[in-house]
């Protein structure tokens, strides 16, 4: 897709986001004026935008049974441990303990 075409797609995409969801299909049909490739591209972007809203709604270490972050569950289970994750098993790893931490995160030995 060339730069001008992408600019057209991007402009229409942002305009479509400003339209209420119930009227977007009509807006896209009118804005594309018979350009099937443009319509498909816009509909695809809009569908993915709707899904992207929930992309990071669930923490990476969510407990599958309760939806609670595993770190919360683990901290309750191992509250007497210094690291909060020591002696915990995540998938096929056993967390042995905290090695260190800083502003960007915490490093554990597993």
CA-closest candidate to residue 98, choices 73, 70, 78: 78
| Residue 94 or 55, more confident | 94
| Residue 110 or 37, more confident | 37
* Contact criterion met (CB below 8 Å) for 83 and 108: yes
Least confident of 27-31, 42-46, 56-60: 56-60
Percentage of the residues of the chain whose pLDDT score is greater than 90? 18
* Contact criterion met (CB below 8 Å) for 24 and 12: no
Q: What mean pLDDT do residues 82-91 have? A: 69
pTM of the model: 0.47
């Amino acid at each position: 897709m060339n730069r001008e075409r992408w600019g057209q797609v991007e402009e229409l995409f942002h305009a479509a986001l400003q339209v209420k969801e119930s009227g977007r299909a009509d807006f896209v049909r009118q804005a594309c004026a018979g350009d099937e490739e443009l319509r498909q591209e816009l509909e695809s972007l809009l569908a993915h935008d709707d899904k992207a809203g929930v992309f990071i709604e669930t923490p990476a270490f969510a407990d599958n049974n309760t939806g609670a972050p595993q770190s919360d569950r683990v901290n309750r289970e191992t509250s007497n441990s210094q690291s909060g994750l020591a002696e915990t098993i995540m998938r096929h790893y056993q967390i042995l303990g905290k090695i260190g931490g800083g502003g960007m995160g915490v490093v554990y030995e597993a």
